[in-house]
Structure 1
Amino acid sequence: MSILSKPKFRRGPVIAVILLLVVAAAAFFLRPPAKDPVAGAPASAMTVELVAPDRRDWSQTLQGSGPVTAWQELIVSPETGGLRVAELLVDVGDVVRRGQVLARLADDSLKVDLRKQEAVVAQSRSSLEQANAYVRRANAVGATGSLSDQQIEEYRISEATARATLQSSQADLDSVKLKLVQTRVLAPDDGVVSSKSGIAGNVVSAGTELFRLVRRGRLEWRPEFDARELASVKTGQKAELTLPNGERVNGTVRIPAPTLSTSTGRATVYVSLTGDSTARAGMFASGLIRLDTTPAITLPQTAIVMRDGRAYVYLVDAHNKVSAQTVTTGRRQDDRVELLSTLASDARVVASGGAFLSEGVLVTVKQAETKR
C-alpha cells in the first residue's frame, strides 16, 4: 500500500446514529403535554356536615298574648274609722306574712273611752248587786206577809233591769276593746305589697285603702283566645311566655274562662306562673300553650336558609353537588324546626353554612366522627 493512500470512511453507522437521535428528539418535543389533575377538576366550594330529617314527638302549641296580673289582689284597710294614721310600717315591694302589723292608728282617745266604759261596767255591776240584795230581802220578808206581791215584783223587775244594763255596758266595753285591737292594721294573708296609698297623719274612715297586696306573691298570665282555639285548652297544660326583657317564664294553665266576651268573642285563659322570675304585674307578654303531642319531622335550625322571604335547605347528591329546595316550616322547639314539606328520610341535608352555597357547586363532605 502506498504511503500516500487515504483510509476508507464508513458512513452507514454514522448516518444511523444521527437518524435515531433525530427521531428521539422529535418524539420528545412532539408528545402531548401531561394533564394536570388539579387544574382539570372542579374546585370544592367548602366542607360541610350532613344531617338527615329526624322524627320527634312534639306538642302542638297555641300562640297568644296578654297581661301579667296578680292571681288575687288584697286591699288592706282599717276596720275602724275616725282615727289618725300614726305609723305605716311597710313599703311597696315588702314581703309580708299573715297577721303582720302593717299600720298603726292613734289609740289615745280609745284608751280614754276604755277607762270610761270600765267605770260604767263597774257601776252597772254594783247596781245589779244592790238589786239582787233587795230581791233576797223581799223574798225573806214576803214569806211573813210584810210585803205585798206588787212590791216584791218591783224588786224583781229592778234586778232584771240592772242585769240588762250591766250586759249593755259590758258590750260597750267589748266594743271599745275591739276598736283598740283594730288600731293595729294586719295583713290578711301572705303577700307582696304592690301599692301604698295611706299617708301618716291622715284621719281615715273604716274601709279607707292603705295598701294593696299581691296575694302570696302569685302572678298569672292572661292571654285571650277565640272559641276555636279555646276548645283545645285544658287545665294543667304547660305554658311558656316571653317577658319584655327576653326572659322565658314557665307556667301552668289554671283554668280557661267558662264564658266568652259578648263584645270580642274571645275568652281569657288563666295561666299560673312560677314564682322565681322577674315577671311583674302590669307587664304585657306573648307566649304559647303546649297542647297534645304529635309527631314532627325536624331539622336543626341552622340547616334552614332564609332568602327572599322563603325557607330553603341544601341537599347533597351522590356526586357531592348541592341543590336548593324550598321548604315550609312549622313549630320550633329549642334549636330544631319542624318541616311541613316532604323530604326523603335518607336525604343528605347541609347542616349549616347553606347561606354561602349556590346551586350546583361541589362540596366536600366532612366524615362523621366515630365514637370509640
Structure 2
Amino acid sequence: MALLALGLVVWRILSGGTESSEDARAASALTVQIVAPQAQTWPQSVVASGPLTAWQEVIVSPETGGLRIAELLVDVGAKVERGQLLARLADDSLRMDLRMQEASVAQASVSLDQATSDLKRARVVEDSGALSEQQLEEYRVAEAKARASLSSARAELDSINLKLKQTRIVAPDNGYVSSKSAVLGNVVNAGAELFRLVRKSRVEWRPELDARQLSLIQTGQSVGVMLPSGAQVLGEVREVGPTLSEKTGRATVYVSLPTDSAARPGMFANGEIALESKSAVTLPQSSIVSRDGRSYIFLLDAQNKVSSRVVAIGRRQGDRIEILTPIDGKARIVASGGAFLSENAQVTVAPVGQARTSAVL
C-alpha cells in the first residue's frame, strides 16, 4: 500500500508539471531572436537611368558640289585621326578648269605688261606736248584695267585650287565613324552629309534627375554605369544641366565614360552616382514586414509581448536596411518571423547565439 501511494503521488507531480509546461508553451506564439537598431556610416548614392550618347558628333560633308564620289576609304566603325582621308571626289573637270584658268592668268599678265609699257612711254613724252591729257588718261585707265583683270584671274585660279583641295574629304578631328551616307559614284551637293563621327571617341551617359536629386550632384563625382551586357563602367560627372525641363521638371546630368569602354551611343543604361557618406540607423532586412504597401517592425515590451510599428525605409546594403523613422537605440525588435505575429502576441526570446526562430505548435 505504501508503494502504491508513493507511485500515485509521483504520477500527480509529473502530470501537473506536464500540464504547466504545455500551458506555458501554449501562451507563447513564437520563439524569436531580438535585435537592436545599429548606427552605421553608409555611402549615399543616386540611382538613375538614361541613354548613352556621343559627347559631340561631327558631320563630315563636302564644301564643293556637283562632283562624283570617286573613292571611299573608310566604313562605319573605323577609327580615324584628324586630317585622315575619308573619301575623294572626282576632280577631272576641275583640273581642266585649272589649266584654262592658268592660261587666263598668263594672258592677263601679258596684257598688264603691255599696258604698263604703253603708260611708261606716254609719260616720257608727256612734257613735250605730243600727247593730250585725254590720251594720257586713256593709257592710265588701260593699265589699271589690265592690273584688275590679272588680279581677278589670279583670284579665280585660287578658287579652283581650293575646290581641288576640297575634293579630298578628310576627318576634322580624331574619333570613329558612327554612320556613313556616302555612296560610291553618287554626285553630291555641297553640305550633304557623307559621314558622322563620334568626336574623340568619347561617349557619355545622360540620365535625367529631378530637382531634389539634382541638388546632391556635383561635377567630379564618381559614377558606376551598368551596360546592357552586364559590364560595369566607371565614369565621372562632367557637367550638371543648368535648367530643368518645363514639361518633365527634370534636368540632364552629363557623365563622361572612358574611351576604351564597351559603351556605345544608342544604348540605355542604369547607373549609380556616388555621394558623400552619411550615418544611417539600420536593421536586418528580415526584421521588416511588408503589409498593405507599408513596412512594419515588431517591438517587444517588458512582458515579451509584441506591438507593430510602421516605419519608413531608405537605403539597402547587403542584408541590412536603413530605417528613417526615429527608433530608441535600446528598443528590442523581432529579428525575423514577424509575418507570423499578431498584435500583442506573447513570444519567447531565444537565448543569445541560438540560431533558430520557430513557431510553437
What range is the shorter-chain TM-score in? 0.7 to 0.9
- Does 2:315 align with 1:331? yes
- Structure 1's 119 and 363: CA in aligned 2 closer, same or farther, altered over 3 A? farther
Q: What is the aligned counterpart of 2:184 among 200, 210, 224? A: 200
Query: Percent identity between the aligned chains?
Result: 53
| 1:228/1:86 CA distance change after superposition, 3 Å | same
Aligned-pair distance for 1:99?
A: 1.4
Equivalent residues in 2 for 1:185-334 (5 A)? 185-262=169-246, 264-275=247-258, 276-298=260-282, 329-332=313-316
- Pairs within 5 Å for 1:358-369: 365=353
Deviation at 1:339, TM superposition (A): 4.4
1:163 to 1:277, Cα distance in 2 relative to 1, 3 A: same
- Which residue, out of 22, 46, 65, partners 1:62? 46
Query: If you compute each CA radius of gyration, which structure gives the higher value, 1 or 2?
Result: 1
Distance in 2 (CA, whole Å) between partners of 1:159 and 1:363 is 117
What letter is aligned with 2:90?
Answer: A
Please give the secondary structure, in 1, of the residue aligned with 2:47. strand
Shifted more, 215-224 versus 82-91: the winner is 215-224
Q: Deviations over 1:72-106 (max 9, x none)?
A: 11111011100011111111111111111111111
CA distance in 1, matches of 2:133, 2:180: 68
Is 1:158 aligned to 2:142, yes or no? Answer: yes
Contact 1:53 1:346 in 2 (8 A): no
Q: What's the RMSD between the two structures over aligned residues? A: 4.2
CA distance in 2, matches of 1:348, 1:277: 49
The letter for the 2-side match of 1:135 is L
- Counterpart of 2:61, as a letter, is S
Tell me, in whole angstroms, the C-alpha distance in 2 between the residues paired with 1:120 and 1:334. Answer: 83
Contact 1:257 1:267 in 2 (8 A): no
Letter in 2 for 1:177: N
Pick one of 151, 157, 164 that aligns with 1:173: 157
**2: CA distance, partners of 1:332 / 1:252:** 23
Q: Is the 8 A contact 1:253 1:269 kept in 2?
A: no
Q: Return 214-223 or 160-169, whichever deviates more.
A: 214-223
TM-score (norm 2): 0.72
Q: How does 1:14-53 map to 2 (within 5 A)?
A: 53=38
Structure 2, unaligned runs of 5 or more: 1-9, 11-32, 300-305, 341-346, 355-361
Aligned length: 326
Aligned to 1:129: 113
The TM-score with structure 1 as length reference comes to 0.70
**Partners in 1 of 2:177 and 2:137 — Cα distance?**
62
How big is the shift at 1:143?
2.7
CA contact (8 A) 1:253 1:270 kept: yes
Please say if residues 62 and 192 of structure 2, whose CA atoms lie closer than 8 Å, have aligned partners that are also in contact: yes
